[in-house]
Amino acid sequence: MTRETSQAHNTDERNTAGILGSRWPAIGYAVLLAAQVAVRLHSGSALWLDEALSVNIARLPLPQLFAALRHDGSPPLYYFLLHGWIALFGTGDDAVRALSTVFSVLALPVAYLVGRRLADRFTGLAAAMLMAACPFAIRYATEARMYALVMLLTLAGLLLVLRALERPRPARLAAVAAVAGLLALTHYWAIFLLAAGEAVLLARASRQHGRGPWLRVAIAIASGAVLFLPWLPSFVFQERHTGTPWAPAPTWHDAVNTLRQWNGPGPAGIVLALVVAALTLRALPRPAARQLLFLGLGALVLGLVVSRIGGAGYALRYSAPDVAAVLLVPALGAARLAGRRGAAALTVVAMLGLGVAVLSPLLGSRTQARHTAALLRAHLRPGDLVVYCPDQLGPAVDRLLPAGTDEVVYPTMSTPQRVDWVDYAARNAAGSPGAFAAAASARATGEVWLVRADGYRTFGTQCAELDQDLAALRGGPAGILQRPAASGESEWLEGYAAPS
């Protein structure tokens, strides 16, 4: 991942100097970048489950925050940063998402610096434009989760690695170690990226010529584990008791689908994927491109294999560290196209990415919680009880209801602000819809409101059975206020009349 030969570098500079020095292309790129930043500033959706959980954990006092994370299954860095952010800006939807927006926007100049260090100024511009236009990056710039931070740290780590490979001074190596540790403390799937990075560095160091810097950087990355050591007992507890009970183990289809979904849904996403793939193929003659591709795709495959063997679940968002590395490859491909062809390809990518983000459901509603909460606020009376089945529906709706609303989750009868993932599958398997319905009906002197969704893993048919048991105890449902939406986090809302 060092610079190419000076001859290739000078050729690239000649090919791109005219583009960057020309007034109108520069204005056009500035407008596209501004538009791509603008779509990161707001999402009209209410917070969905994961975001609501993030906020409810991050707002706790720090000792309780770290204790709550043991039962959540996540590492602490993002929650620690969100805790401070909430203290300054509050817990409104736009306020808590703005932290991710800041991380995502900061990633753009870092991507430029990485691209420029890899090759030249146009590669830097291409890297920034590809990151700005990436529908995956746009999506998680508007979500109160750690994925935008992961992408920023990945790019910062690559920049520091490139600098350390040129001059492996102690300060530069220490910076590499620090970012490696911070990545592991942000999301566990970043550990697979670090492992793939070690493989690249050690493979290069095994060659006879110029092994020193590569070996030193590999040692620096491994040294980042020192930052993770204080969190290690919590990680071991999470590994044994939490996991991802809500999702099946991944298949090879997930690897292919991940590459496709990085470019967003719909026909425009397919076209964007094809253009990015063509630029990637164009870049492959460069050793740096092959190393970056191995880094990103190797980390993805490693994560999928480990998850498959361990029976852990997978979600597209876990690939955040990988997409940041892989997107640098088509940036190198765009720079290898001569002059205007490279500029045209970059413009097409930027416009397609923007179109996918704006015209697709990418930034649309992620949950029905806002509509559910509005209906509940209109109908709740003193003595009413709101029941959530499964408990995963609770956090998003609860934050939109009046303080003091009586709410419980199935099967534990606990409050809905957080989900306890510890031994989750076993606890749900032991649930009894009939016993829970009797306890809930006895607790409510008014109506019982059931917020329900079927098909959630580890619950089987229990939520549908709970619906039937409540209806039997209360003489049938008083009415169905809401049916599930076509997409996103959707739910039924049903009411059961107060005892006569």
- Is residue 72 within 8 A of residue 242, CB to CB? The reply is yes
**End-to-end C-alpha distance for the chain, whole angstroms:** 75
Whole-number Å distance between alpha carbons of 321 and 308 = 19
Whole-structure pTM value: 0.93
Please report the pLDDT score of residue 13 as a whole number.
Answer: 52
Structure tokens at 294: 């191995």
Q: Which two three-digit tokens encode residue 153?
A: 């740290």
Distance CA 154, CA 159 (A): 9
How many C-beta atoms lie closer than 10 Å to residue 369's C-beta?
A: 29
Return the exposure string of 144-157: e unless at least 16 CB atoms fall within 10 Å of the residue's CB, then b.
bbbbbbbbbbbbbb
Residue 224 near residue 180 (C-beta atoms within 8 A): yes
Tokens of 479: 């009415």
65-72 long-range contacts (CB < 8 A, ≥24 apart) are: 66/234, 68/418, 69/234, 70/234, 70/237, 70/238, 70/422, 71/242, 71/418, 71/420, 71/421, 71/422, 72/242, 72/418, 72/419, 72/421
Q: Give me the numbers of helices (H) and strands (E) for the chain, helices first please.
A: 25, 5
CA 275 to CA 348: how far, in whole Å? 8
Domain boundaries, given as residue ranges, for the chain? 6-363, 369-496
What does the pLDDT read at residue 359? 78
Give the relative orientation of helices 77-89 and 62-72 as an angle to the nearest 10 degrees. Answer: 130
Q: For position 7, what pLDDT does the model report?
A: 43
Task: List the pLDDT tens digit at each of the 500 positions of the chain.
Answer: 444 444 445 545 544 544 555 565 677 788 888 999 999 998 889 999 999 999 999 999 999 999 999 999 999 999 999 999 999 999 999 999 999 999 999 999 999 999 999 999 999 999 999 999 999 999 999 999 999 999 999 999 999 999 999 999 999 999 999 999 999 999 999 999 999 999 999 998 887 566 789 999 999 999 999 999 999 999 999 999 998 888 889 998 999 999 999 999 888 899 999 999 999 999 999 999 999 999 999 999 999 999 999 989 999 999 999 999 999 999 999 988 867 788 888 889 989 998 888 877 677 889 999 999 999 999 999 999 999 999 999 999 999 999 999 999 999 999 999 999 999 999 999 999 999 999 999 999 999 999 999 999 999 999 999 999 999 999 877 788 989 987 789 999 999 998 77
Instruction: Name the region of 196 (left: φ>0; alpha: ψ -120 to 50; beta: rest).
Output: alpha
pLDDT for 476: 78
The rounded distance, in Å, linking the Cα atoms of 499 and 445 is 7
Identity of residue 95: A
